[in-house]
Structure 1
Amino acid sequence: MIIQVSTLEHRRVTPVGSSSLIDVLAAHADRTPTPVVPQDRVCSLVTALAQVPDRRDPRGVGHVLSSVLAVAVAAVLAGARSVAAIGEWAADLPQRVLADLSVFRDPFTGVYRPPVTSTIRRVLVDVDADALDTAVSRWIIASAASTGGAPGRQAYSVDGKTLRGSGRTGGQRHLLAVLEQHTGVVVGQIDVDGRTNEITRFRPLLEGLDLTGAVVAADALHTQREHARWLVDSKASAYLCTVKNNQPGLYRQS
């Protein structure tokens, strides 16, 4: 069975504010090819999301955290950009898809019941954002590998992106992301808030990736000696960086 998540319809609703993790999930969807997800990959998504810690009080919890997150991830891949849209998308799902997403099953009727909008909202507000992003990134990497992966030497590009609609001008969410160039898959991203900048987030972004033998490309902002040494000495990778006037001595030599 194949689930073409991009064709599942939802009603457009005004997006929630920048505090929502939908912005982070949407960055994966916007930079990843339109997904056709086989059943085994849907199941593996639920398994991957089980690694995200559940910080809820166990009393009164009806839906397993991984199933709520799986619904949210699938809905965003299908185009949902608000909590209300995710809830409406989930409410329209057929029973077989709800079963694949491992949602709550009524023990008396045997009917699968998707999480309602209020439950989805509470989960997304409280979830560990970094753990969720790591789980989604690893699932995407595994999915790409299962379809043959990238030919030859792997090539990654690091770039920043300000998310449209995530806040007013000057207060929008900014992410630093790394993309596998052969597949077009975003394999990692990290928040760049107002207290830091892209340069300081470069190493944390790439730390968890196996870059052995790969080439990492970045723009002029990341043409830094520390970055180059770290990539070669610690990650056993090559690098390709743009040289501009932010490195005047090196620029004159080029």
Structure 2
Amino acid sequence: MQITIPPLVTIFDPIADWRKPRGKRYSLISLFNFIVLAMLCGKTSARGMARWGKYMPAGRKSRLGIKPHHHPSAAMLCRVFWQIKPEALEASIQAWVHQVHQELVAAGIARGIAIDGKSIRRAASLGSPNAFLVSAVCHQLRIVLTQAAVEDKTNEISCVPPLLERLLLKGLVITVDALLTQRAIVRQIRQAGGHYLMYVKGNHPRLLWSLEARFAQPQPRNEPPFLYF
């Protein structure tokens, strides 16, 4: 089966160019490609990206649409970051990921999704100790398919059903931790044609006892010993 995966750069197509025609040195797609490559090389700041681009080989610059003796400055990259709306970019990325995931599911390559909640990195140091996200991750792609924020005074369980509604579950194995081992979640996965693999711990004592009793080794019968002559 032939797999058709759209190029990653297509996620930037819905973003309109806000700049005036006069004075443009780089096309918007060239700047986006430059930023993506810089991030893949470990550059996480505008200044680091600009310094990285300064020493980029001329051949690679030309492939990005950048002249050999030029490179985007840190100020220019900051202006790009300020103008991009995170919600629009995230929606475009998720649309691309879903398209890729559906192609891999149809080809039998993607077979599982892991759902788990994690606290946002460095959230506590920035004054938000209770910032959590529930994410659905494809095992084979190792990429987040979709995610949802856990609102204050709630828990991860209430965020999972809307998350599952946005996913293709038919024929896939959904894995969750012990907190998300809930009948409603199991019912929703099965109704969508999916399968599940869940942990059972002490927070479900009756279910844990039933499983332990079901898979316990049978006790040997009290048979009389053999007599040897």
Mark yes or no: TM-score above 0.5.
yes
2:20 aligned with 1:59:
yes
Aligned length: 203
Structure 2 unpaired stretches of 5+: 212-229
Largest Rg, 1 or 2:
2
Distance verdict in 2 for CA 1:212–1:193, change over 3 Å: closer
Structure 1 unpaired stretches of 5+: 1-40
TM superposition shift of 1:215:
0.6
Identity of aligned residues (%): 26
Distance verdict in 2 for CA 1:100–1:192, change over 3 Å: farther
TM superposition shift of 1:135:
3.8
Report the counterpart of residue 229 of structure 1 in structure 2: 187
TM superposition shift of 1:111:
5.6
- Structure-to-structure mapping, 1:61-80, within 5 angstroms: 62=24, 63-80=26-43
Report the counterpart of residue 253 of structure 1 in structure 2: 210
CA distance in structure 1 between the aligned counterparts of 2:163 and 2:30, rounded to whole angstroms: 27
Task: Give the match's secondary structure for 1:212.
Answer: coil
Distance verdict in 2 for CA 1:114–1:161, change over 3 Å: farther
CA distance in structure 2 between the aligned counterparts of 1:111 and 1:93, rounded to whole angstroms: 9
Distance verdict in 2 for CA 1:176–1:167, change over 3 Å: same
Distance verdict in 2 for CA 1:86–1:139, change over 3 Å: farther
- Structure-to-structure mapping, 1:42-191, within 5 angstroms: 44-51=7-14, 53-54=15-16, 57-59=18-20, 62=24, 63-101=26-64, 103=65, 113-136=70-93, 154-165=111-122, 168=125, 171=128, 174-181=132-139, 183-190=140-147
Alpha-carbon RMSD across the aligned residues, in angstroms, is 3.9
2:167 aligned with 1:209:
yes
Alignment deviations for residues 234-253 of structure 1 (CA, whole Å, 9 cap, x no partner): x3211112122333443343
CA distance in structure 1 between the aligned counterparts of 2:105 and 2:174, rounded to whole angstroms: 21
Report the counterpart of residue 27 of structure 1 in structure 2: none
CA distance in structure 1 between the aligned counterparts of 2:100 and 2:20, rounded to whole angstroms: 35
Q: Which amino acid aligns with 2:20?
A: R
Report the counterpart of residue 20 of structure 1 in structure 2: none
Alignment deviations for residues 59-105 of structure 1 (CA, whole Å, 9 cap, x no partner): 3684554443333232222112223222322333334434444x5x5
Distance verdict in 2 for CA 1:208–1:247, change over 3 Å: same
Bigger RCO (CA 8 Å, 6+ sep): 1
Q: Which amino acid aligns with 1:157?
A: A
CA distance in structure 2 between the aligned counterparts of 1:71 and 1:149, rounded to whole angstroms: 32
